[in-house]
Amino acid sequence: MQTMIKISSPYFISPENLPEPEGWSAAFGADRPLALEIGCGVGDFIANTAVDCPDTNIIAIDYYNKGCDSTCRRLERHGVTNVRVSRVEAREFISSHIPKNSLSAVYINCPDPWPKKRHRKRRLVNRWFVEFIRDYLAQDGALFFATDFEDYGIDVAGMMPGIAGFENMLHPDLYRHELAGYHLSKYMKKFMAEGKHIYFIHYRKI
C-alpha cells in the first residue's frame, strides 16, 4: 500500500479538484495548447520538456503519490510554471477530463512492462489504447513512447504501422535507440549507463 504524502504544491491538482474537459485554460491561467505526460516518475523529463515548451500547458500524471510529490518539488526548484500534476489512472482520467482532439503531444516513458507473459495484457500501450488516445490527440498531435524493455518496444513498434490515423515520424525505422532533442529521464540514463537500449517510437496523428 502506498504511503500517502500530503502534497501542498500549487502545481498539484487533487483528483477531486480536476477541471472539466474544457476547464484547463483556467487551471493554468492561460489559453495554450495542451500536452500530457503519462507516468511522470520523479519529474525530470517533464521539467526539462516544459522549459523547452513554455507556450504549452502540460499535464503530468502518475499513479504513485510519491512520484507526484517529487515531480512537484522538481518543478518548484526549477521555476517551471506550465505543468500541473495529478495522481490518477490514465485511461479514466483521459476519458473524463481531456477534450477530444485537443492534445498537442502525449509522452509515455518507460511504463510498467509487465514482463511475465501472463501479465502482458496489463500493459498500458496496446492497440486498444493507441486507438483510444488517437481520439484525444489534435491534428498533427505527437505520440511519443519509450521503453527500456526490448519485448515491449518491439511489440509496440510492430503494432503501430497497422493502426490507421498515424504517421511514423522515424520512417523508415520503426524505432530508434536515440531520439534527438528528446530529454532522458533519470531512469533512462540509468539503463543506458548499464549498456541497455531504450526503444523510442514517435508518431503523429494525421
| pLDDT in the model for residue 2 | 53
| pLDDT in the model for residue 122 | 87
Instruction: Tell me the domain boundaries of the chain.
Output: 33-205
Which among 112, 135, 140, 155 is annotated as catalytic? 112
Residue 112 annotated to the active site: yes
Q: What is the mean pLDDT of the chain?
A: 94
How confident is residue 3, by pLDDT bands cut at 50, 70 and 90? low
DSSP code string of the chain: ---------TTB--GGGPPPGGGHHHHHTS---EEEEE--TTSHHHHHHHHH-TTSEEEEEES-HHHHHHHHHHHHHHT--SEEEEE--HHHHHHHHS-TT-EEEEEEES-----SGGGGGG-S-SHHHHHHHHTTEEEEEEEEEEES-HHHHHHHHHHGGGSTTEEETTTT-S-BS--TTPPPPHHHHHHHHTTPPPEEEEEEE-
Does domain 33-205 correspond to CATH entry 3.40.50.150?
Answer: yes
